[in-house]
Structure 1
């Protein structure tokens, strides 16, 4: 083995002339030498750490620091460094003792001609021992890695354990595994670095331009070649060599791992010693990498077997086995939440699919099946909620629903089969039937739900319905609901929703000083549909946004018409739904709906319920304040039925409180009811708010409210909600 180009010699000597003679003798023999002298324990220890000598030459007897103490320190701090005694006083007995304690050799100062040969021999022996130790460590790594290959069944865990073994048993400064996926993108799969992000920039550079990245990593990934740099400090291929050698990295190996002739990863190993990776060591590392490649190939084959056992090979969706497991998990999760939520299971069967295969060929049929799978996956939002249970049978689970109507609404809105499939330049239209079962009503387990959804699907095929629920009563209810949704959409498009107006009367003068606009809609028979039936549908479908806009616009228009007729037009209050108030654009939507009017001139007020405000009080305050600043007045509806904090109530930008009708009805019958109404009126007056009593239907109620100094009243005692034209007679 070759010696270092320059031998770093540490001389433990108290006589400078003797040290100079030893250095001169080494140079006279043709050796290049860099030396440092130490004559105390402190300077000797510092030199071992900072100078890192290749060989130590030490006097045996010195006044301040003896050679045996130096030998003990060297064996403790730098056990691999050869230690030669150079002394004029050492006897045979002491020489034997020194050799037993770890000295490499001894040379008498009277015979320095032996010194160069002794140094060369000591360095050669040391290098051979280090080489054998390195080979032993690499064999130890290979043995530990082979053991890991038997235990580990997941590549990420295997990569991480390999890196830990390489550093802990192999003595490498660093071990890293960079993985290459099938798309050609690299990522750090495992590393012993404290912060892998330091290396991430190099990986990112490769991913941006794999063909032209010029780092050693890029070359190894691209070509699948093992690359060795045994002198990193002077190897121009190592782009960051200055920083690496400063941190104690002098040798580098990049070992590609291949599976089925494709590079899947590259191992990076860094060592402190220069010339670490010789031919024999590289051979052992190559054999170890080959074993890892074989293990990864087995893992890939096992993964493929597992995939085929749980996934549909054509569409990539979970098959019946996996979907059943996912459905069971979803049911357990829904039950564990303990709420009243439900879970819907849909089975979708494509009709006359054999005709598509016969007419266009199996490849077109397969493309349709894959396109259908993608539509369902996109609609469900999660592949774990979709499965392919048969040749043309799909399953979709919908967790966290409130009721069966929500499932039907989702089917109507998704309209998965409404659009044709574009396949190989042609349009292919497919029809389908859907059977639906709902947990827990139609079954407590996955097996029961699947069985009942299949029964519903069978009935849908027999009756020709697009979809049917397992429970017959749900079908009737859902059918009515869906029909109402369609008619409401049409009503909104054609402006068929309208308002009736109920007056608010001043308690002192009985004059009409305000009205409330109440949404109305006529059914197919021409009769009015109860708001309790259609308003919830508007909210569930999101149609309430448009309906609310239309009501505000209508109120502003009616107010303007009354003014144009010379009537003393009262302000018109419009109810706001929870969905409207939660909308980010609520303020802008309301101002836009005023149809050009603004401020006091719009004549429109808003009524919001107490419980609605409490859901996001700070945001509600901000929005209502903006509208109040624009001239609209705000009333708090149904006061006393929610959970208002008085602290929040004082912050709300309100003009009036409305006493809920339940309190008004009970106040003439129970003393407690009277006390509640009295307290509400007192609270409103303390906050300088007007008080409006709702649902006043009898004269005793009217008289008692007058005595309690309520400001306004509203109810059938004065007038039911009526069309705007009829209300004009009261103005």
Structure 2
């Protein structure tokens, strides 16, 4: 058994000795010293070589002079070639000082004279101890080499950059290859200049990182997150940590650290932050939509929320002008916004102002997102965007009843911000704003129809009542009256039945237009039923003036034929007149009496009839 692995195993001793008695004397000394010995004696070259291979000794004791041509030095050469670490001790009576020195130079461990065998045990003990120490060192070195190899393999497999620098002087001691993959720079640059990593730090982070590094060189822990800009222009996030190492005297010796690429983690954090902002923006805008009663406040709130809650650098909303086909900005928020009022993007593709992102989104009625303003060919004015620090933008068309109503444009100072989830939320927001615009339009329509006729645009019966009250209150003390006239186009039903309702509607609009022109201000004209109109005339000084206005202005205006759908239509009109305050003080009473007078006019064939008989008499006397 090998004593290097089991010190309790017998000591295997190879004796190169031609005198058996001398060999026995040496072995006796070993046994006296309590060595458990297994021995083999040889005295020829062949036997010695076989013993080296098969006996595998732990110790060689050799005579210097041997018979024939084989001697101790030749044996030493063979032993050192076959078993270089085994102790080789000369035990000889003929070796001199010079030969002993030569033997030691050739690799002998030591020598003992045969007449001084009392020295052999201390020499053997020392040789065996040195052998064990050498083996222990070699074993430690092997283990250290294996450990170093494992560490090198582990470090090489890490995606993190492991580094070490000495402090005084500042010198790169170690750097793993991950540095090249993360920084995009060669390791040789680091060893030439240990501060080379600082040159890649983002300008906005460099001052902070440099100060932290300066403190670390003084002994403070190094723990900092920062951005780097690689040579290819890519920005990456780094989490860099270092531990100060001091020497035995407590002086700063080096800093060992590890730098991790946390770009993916940071992007995820920023994505979550952006999505949180998007949700907050959507919630705030929906709240604003519920409160909104008009478009202007809705637009202002939407832009303010997009910047305040959504984190956008700039937001503006433009409304499409039906005549010019341009989107005119009506609300904006953020900075810089000085150029926004001058914007006039067109929906027309043949115009230069219609070829950008806004015109495209309006034409296609589809949201458009740009994650890199500088390189996207759809973006016009990329230089202007860059000057203002805009790196990404979103164009959200506002669509009402399947038609482009306007556009909301959002600008971001960060690039690559629009992923599928953000796009979905922004499209949802645009849909909500469009729904609110549709709701406002319908509400306005309902409010309008509560007081106006949807076909002619004239006041309806409700508004006419209010206008009559206002006109009666506006009369001066010396002004005697207000006339309410109800007009009925004769044979209007025949027009609808023979020429169609479209022609009938066109005729009603034409009648309304002529009546408005004929009555003028401060009077008013209303459509109070399907084919009846009401007129309020002020101030009127008696029946004669009323009759004059009817004949010279109203009937004269309506007597001219109407050109409707390529046809010439003559529309005779009957009228009934009630006069305030004699025929009533309330609008409802006046209309009722005017309608009664109209009925009598239709029955009598007169063009117009006053409700009060005396009024008719006065007109007749005229």
Q: Same fold (TM over 0.5)?
A: yes
Deviations 1:546-568 (A, max 9, x none): xxxxxxxxxxxxxxxxxxxxxxx
Deviations 1:44-94 (A, max 9, x none): xxxx9x9433895245485899999x999x9xxxxx997856674799xxx
Cα shift at 1:213: 1.9
Cα shift at 1:220: 0.6
1:159/1:16 CA distance change after superposition, 3 Å: farther
Cα shift at 1:21: 11
Question: Counterpart of 2:405?
Answer: 264
Cα shift at 1:420: 0.5
Determine whether 1:52 maps to 2:204: yes
Deviations 1:367-414 (A, max 9, x none): 322221222234456899332112221123345677776655544135
Cα shift at 1:272: 1.5
Cα shift at 1:202: 3.6
What does 1:189-588 correspond to in 2, within 5 Å? 189-192=330-333, 198-203=339-344, 205-206=346-347, 213-300=354-441, 310-331=451-472, 334=474, 343-357=482-496, 360-380=499-519, 385-398=524-537, 408-411=547-550, 412-414=552-554, 415-440=556-581, 442-470=583-611
Cα shift at 1:180: 3.7
Deviates more, 1:401-410 or 1:457-466: 401-410
Q: Check the 8 A contact 1:88/1:109 in 2, yes or no.
A: yes
Task: Tell me the secondary structure at the aligned position of residue 232 of structure 1.
Answer: coil
What does 1:146-185 correspond to in 2, within 5 Å? 146-180=286-320
Query: What count of residue pairs does the alignment treat as equivalent?
Result: 424
CA distance in 1, matches of 2:545, 2:344: 47
Cα shift at 1:196: 8.0
CA distance in 2, matches of 1:66, 1:386: 91
1:450/1:267 CA distance change after superposition, 3 Å: same
Task: Tell me the secondary structure at the aligned position of residue 354 of structure 2.
Answer: coil
Question: Counterpart of 1:712?
Answer: none
1:387/1:30 CA distance change after superposition, 3 Å: same
Determine whether 1:129 maps to 2:269: yes
Task: Tell me the secondary structure at the aligned position of residue 433 of structure 1.
Answer: strand
Cα shift at 1:284: 1.7
CA distance in 1, matches of 2:561, 2:361: 48
Deviations 1:220-260 (A, max 9, x none): 11111221122223434322332333223221101223344
Deviates more, 1:260-269 or 1:134-143: 260-269
Query: Where in structure 1 are there 5+ consecutive unaligned residues?
Result: 1-14, 34-47, 75-79, 92-107, 484-731
Query: Where in structure 2 are there 5+ consecutive unaligned residues?
Result: 1-166, 186-200, 227-235, 248-252
Question: Counterpart of 1:188?
Answer: 329
CA distance in 1, matches of 2:610, 2:412: 68
Q: Check the 8 A contact 1:88/1:110 in 2, yes or no.
A: yes
Task: Tell me the secondary structure at the aligned position of residue 484 of structure 2.
Answer: strand
Cα shift at 1:277: 1.4
Equivalent of 1:111, from 256, 274, 277?
Answer: 256
Task: Tell me the secondary structure at the aligned position of residue 444 of structure 1.
Answer: coil
Q: Check the 8 A contact 2:329/2:343 in 1, yes or no.
A: no
Task: Tell me the secondary structure at the aligned position of residue 233 of structure 1.
Answer: coil
Q: Check the 8 A contact 2:349/2:359 in 1, yes or no.
A: no
Question: Counterpart of 1:31?
Answer: 183
CA distance in 2, matches of 1:280, 1:155: 28
Task: Tell me the secondary structure at the aligned position of residue 323 of structure 1.
Answer: helix
What does 1:591-602 correspond to in 2, within 5 Å? none
CA distance in 1, matches of 2:214, 2:337: 50
1:63/1:427 CA distance change after superposition, 3 Å: closer
1:194/1:390 CA distance change after superposition, 3 Å: farther
Question: Counterpart of 1:140?
Answer: 280
Cα shift at 1:139: 0.7
CA distance in 2, matches of 1:409, 1:277: 72
1:58/1:238 CA distance change after superposition, 3 Å: same
Q: Check the 8 A contact 1:347/1:435 in 2, yes or no.
A: yes
CA distance in 2, matches of 1:472, 1:237: 78
Task: Tell me the secondary structure at the aligned position of residue 422 of structure 2.
Answer: helix
1:452/1:251 CA distance change after superposition, 3 Å: same
1:384/1:437 CA distance change after superposition, 3 Å: closer
Q: Check the 8 A contact 2:523/2:535 in 1, yes or no.
A: no
1:235/1:359 CA distance change after superposition, 3 Å: closer
RMSD: 4.9
CA distance in 2, matches of 1:350, 1:286: 52
1:63/1:133 CA distance change after superposition, 3 Å: closer
Deviations 1:638-661 (A, max 9, x none): xxxxxxxxxxxxxxxxxxxxxxxx
Task: Tell me the secondary structure at the aligned position of residue 344 of structure 2.
Answer: helix
1:64/1:310 CA distance change after superposition, 3 Å: same
Question: Counterpart of 1:40?
Answer: none
Deviations 1:255-305 (A, max 9, x none): 223344333332211112121212221122123333334444555555555
Q: Check the 8 A contact 1:319/1:389 in 2, yes or no.
A: yes
1:253/1:358 CA distance change after superposition, 3 Å: closer
Deviations 1:318-369 (A, max 9, x none): 332343344445555x26x889596543321112333444554544433322
Task: Tell me the secondary structure at the aligned position of residue 209 of structure 2.
Answer: strand
Task: Tell me the secondary structure at the aligned position of residue 592 of structure 2.
Answer: helix
Q: Tell me the TM-score normalized by structure 2.
A: 0.56
Question: Counterpart of 2:83?
Answer: none
Cα shift at 1:144: 2.0
